[in-house]
Structure 1
Amino acid sequence: MSARIFQRPKNAMQSGRGHTDEWVLEFQSNEPRKADPLMGWAGSGDTQSQVRLTFPTLDAARAYADKNGIAATYIPTPPKTLKLQAYADNFR
């Protein structure tokens, strides 16, 4: 069983930064997805891929993975960059 640990990025549709300080442990699917013959939806029999656990710190997420024997890979958070703009720059 393998998983990945990452920090959620800021939602592009909103200006708030809610839940971006939490660390997420998400299990990776062991089965490929296949189309349902009746509805055409993609799905699989692997229910572990639906599990998503949140932790307050990276150390807590790593400790949980080590305690339960989960091979977790850490995905570092990209640095946050601000793009400073001025309205007057539109008329240069």
Structure 2
Amino acid sequence: MWTQLQSGILAAATISGAPSDLQSRTVRIYKASKPATQSSNWPGTRWKMDWDVLTHRGNWENPLMGWISSADHMQGTHLWFKTKEDAIYFAEKQGYEYYVQEPNVRAFRPKQYAANFTHSPGKLKIIRTK
């Protein structure tokens, strides 16, 4: 308790009365990637936080539809933040263990159709189609 007060962050779980299984959750903080259905250069400016799936919670198959059901109420929940620091501060404030998954940077090389016809010194390239 004293170390939490020294760092300036008092975990909200100590006074909130939240269930103990919710207090010991691990969260993942990451930037969401562009959906495959979008063709734009989506910047992905917001950071997302979601909870890891609990292994000890019971999952079962729904006999009517065949869908997988779960007793984990936080599995489908996520939060959005403007910056990574805001997400980390929230996780520390709530007393969650967290890990940050840094985004992969996409290497974008601009291409031009006219580059196929520019002169390049050296041996002539012969492309056989048949």
TM, length-normalised to structure 1: 0.83
Task: Decide which structure has greater strand share.
Answer: 1
Q: Which residue of 2 aligns with 1:29?
A: 53
Q: Report the 3-state secondary structure (helix = DSSP H, G, I; strand = E; otherwise coil) of the residue aligned with 1:79.
A: coil
Summarize deviations over 1:20-63 as a string: whole Å, max 9, x none.
10000101121364321221011201011111000000000000
State the alpha-carbon separation in 2 of the partners of residues 32 and 83 from structure 1. 47
Q: Which amino acid aligns with 2:33?
A: P
Question: Post-superposition shift, 1:3?
Answer: 1.0
Identical columns (%): 26
Question: Post-superposition shift, 1:13?
Answer: 1.4
Q: Which residue of 2 aligns with 1:62?
A: 88
Question: Post-superposition shift, 1:12?
Answer: 2.2
1:1-92 matches, within 5 Å, as 1-14=25-38, 15=40, 17=42, 20-30=44-54, 31=57, 33-87=59-113, 89=116
Summarize deviations over 1:7-27 as a string: whole Å, max 9, x none.
011222111526x10000101
State the alpha-carbon separation in 1 of the partners of residues 47 and 58 from structure 2. 26
Q: Report the 3-state secondary structure (helix = DSSP H, G, I; strand = E; otherwise coil) of the residue aligned with 1:47.
A: coil
Residue correspondences, number: 89
State the alpha-carbon separation in 1 of the partners of residues 86 and 53 from structure 2. 23
Unaligned regions of 5+ residues in structure 2, if any? 1-24, 117-126
Unaligned regions of 5+ residues in structure 1, if any? none
Q: Which amino acid aligns with 2:42?
A: R
State the alpha-carbon separation in 2 of the partners of residues 79 and 11 from structure 1. 15
Q: Which runs of 4+ in 1 moved over 2 A?
A: 31-34, 83-89
